[in-house]
């Protein structure tokens, strides 16, 4: 599986637990190989693994470029057809199938503006070419316009330069938003900047953000395991329909308290997960 070795991610744990429940016992009839950060997926292809499981759009793109024969299961990605992973949702074709977590950005920005209605200018750093951001920006622009909110979108080739950009953030920016998988390494800096500024931070994924409207990692890991089970039993991945993932709302009160941002009680009742300040 193409994931960092440590720490284990909830989606990876859910994936493995579901396969265990289906009779795959690690060390007996299944072996998991973890991709270390910075190691190309091609190394798995060279080893002749039986399946590659990916957890981001970037990993999925890399895996499909590396092999046309080894089954690739995307446990978490967005826009299967638009990203070029699948010919159609009903029959993806090739050596791929998986769980599409769908267009989360519109719902995330709507909820953010509902929670923080006084927001006027949102800073959005994004990675050039990354599907969640490239496709997501046009989806949220009309929503922002409807609310009279300005989007300050800044594009980066990679995480280099994000820190300097955050340090030079215009004073009138009153919220920060980020996309899942895009500039992930810079999310802590975004959270730190939002905390120092006393403004909301939100996105479709990102540890420490005050609001995350994103994929339900556990459920999506289970769905991906179901597809993997079928492929391991002989099914052609290209003939297995793309599954639709489930979403969840996470509110981080610890981050909100640190930034001095208030969250109304009615939003807490809608949250699937609430991260509270440590006692």
Note the pLDDT tens digit of each residue in 159-179.
889 999 999 999 999 999 999
Same domain, 76 and 174: no
Element (H or E) spanning 257, and its range?
Answer: helix 253-259
Verify that 156 and 264 share a domain, yes or no: yes
Confidence of residue 56 (pLDDT cuts 50, 70, 90): confident
**What pLDDT, on the 0 to 100 scale, is given for residue 5?**
53
What pLDDT sits at residue 139? 94
Range of the domain at 34: 10-102+216-246
Question: Is 4's pLDDT higher than 80?
Answer: no
Please tell me the predicted confidence (pLDDT) of residue 78: 86
Same domain, 185 and 50: no
Same domain, 176 and 227: no
Number of domains in the chain: 2
Q: Are residues 155 and 258 in the same domain?
A: yes
Q: Do 152 and 62 share a structural domain? A: no
Spell out the residues 6+ positions from residue 154 whose beta carbon is closer than 8 angstroms to its own: 123, 124, 125, 126, 165
Q: Quick check: pTM over 0.75?
A: yes
71 shares its domain with 186: no
Q: Which CATH number covers residue 33? A: 3.40.50.2300
Q: Name the token pair of 253.
A: 């009160």
Q: Is the pLDDT of residue 142 over 70?
A: yes
Identify the CA nearest to 103 among candidates 63, 134, 72. 134
Instruction: Kindly state whether residue 1 falls inside one of the protein's structural domains.
Output: no
Say whether pLDDT at 279 is over 70. Answer: no
Q: Give CA–CA dist 26/118, Å, rounded.
A: 51
* Residue 201: inside a domain: yes
- CA–CA distance, 51 with 66 (Å, rounded to integer): 12
Helix (H, G, I), strand (E, B) or coil at 49: coil
Together in a domain, 199 and 222: no
Contacts 24+ apart (CB under 8 A), 83-89: 83/57, 83/131, 85/60, 85/61, 86/242, 89/241, 89/242
User: Exposed/middle/buried for 124, CB within 10 Å: 0-12, 13-18, 19+?
Assistant: buried
- Looking at the structure, do residues 146 and 181 belong to the same domain, yes or no? yes
Residues in CB range of 39: below 8 A, 6 or more apart: none
Residue 5 within any structural domain of the chain: no
> Does residue 203 sit in the same domain as residue 238?
no
Both tokens of 140, joined, read: 């949220």
Say what the alpha-carbon torsion angle 180, 249, 224, 77 is, to the nearest 10 degrees: -20
- In the chain, what is the straight-line distance between the N-terminal and C-terminal CA atoms, in Å? 37
Task: Check whether 207 has a pLDDT greater than 70.
Answer: yes
Is residue 3 assigned to a domain? no
Query: 76: which DSSP letter?
Result: E
Over the stretch 184-204, which tens digit does the pLDDT of each residue have?
889 999 999 999 999 999 999
Grouping H, G, I as helix, E, B as strand and the rest as coil, residue 214 is strand
Residue 120: per-residue pLDDT:
98
Q: What angle do CA 68, 72, 74 make, to 5 degrees?
A: 140
How distant is the alpha carbon of residue 178 from its chain centre?
10
Based on the fold, state whether residues 87 and 97 are members of the same structural domain. Answer: yes
Answer whether residue 2 is part of any domain. no
What's the mean pLDDT when you consider all of the chain? 93
pLDDT at 188: 94
Instruction: Say whether both 206 and 70 belong to one domain.
Output: no
25 occurs within a structural domain: yes
Tell me if 158 is assigned to some domain. yes
Tell me what the mean pLDDT of segment 31-44 comes to. Answer: 89
């Amino acid at each position: 599986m193409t994931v960092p070795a440590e720490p284990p991610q909830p989606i990876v744990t859910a994936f493995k637990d579901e396969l265990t429940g289906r009779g795959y016992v690690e060390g007996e009839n299944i072996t998991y190989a973890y991709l270390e950060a910075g190691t190309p997926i091609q190394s798995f292809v060279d080893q002749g693994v039986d399946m590659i499981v990916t957890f981001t759009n970037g990993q999925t793109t890399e895996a499909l470029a590396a092999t046309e024969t080894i089954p690739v299961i995307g446990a978490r990605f967005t826009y299967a057809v638009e990203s070029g992973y699948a010919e159609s949702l009903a029959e993806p074709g090739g050596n791929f199938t998986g769980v599409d977590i769908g267009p989360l950005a519109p719902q995330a920005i709507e909820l953010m503006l509902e929670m923080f209605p006084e927001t006027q200018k949102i800073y959005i750093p994004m990675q050039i070419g990354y599907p969640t951001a490239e496709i997501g920006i046009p989806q949220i622009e009309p929503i922002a316009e409807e609310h009279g909110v300005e989007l300050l979108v800044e594009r980066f080739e990679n995480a280099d330069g994000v820190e300097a950009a955050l340090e030079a953030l215009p004073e009138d920016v009153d919220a920060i938003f980020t996309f899942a998988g895009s500039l992930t390494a810079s999310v802590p800096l975004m959270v730190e900047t939002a905390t120092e500024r006393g403004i909301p931070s939100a996105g479709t994924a990102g540890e420490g953000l005050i609001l995350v409207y994103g994929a339900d990692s556990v459920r999506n890991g289970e769905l991906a395991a179901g597809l993997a089970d079928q492929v391991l039993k002989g099914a052609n991945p290209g003939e297995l329909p793309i599954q639709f993932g489930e979403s969840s709302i996470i509110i981080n009160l610890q981050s909100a308290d640190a930034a001095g941002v208030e969250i109304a009680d009615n939003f807490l009742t809608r949250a699937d997960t609430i991260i509270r300040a440590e006692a």
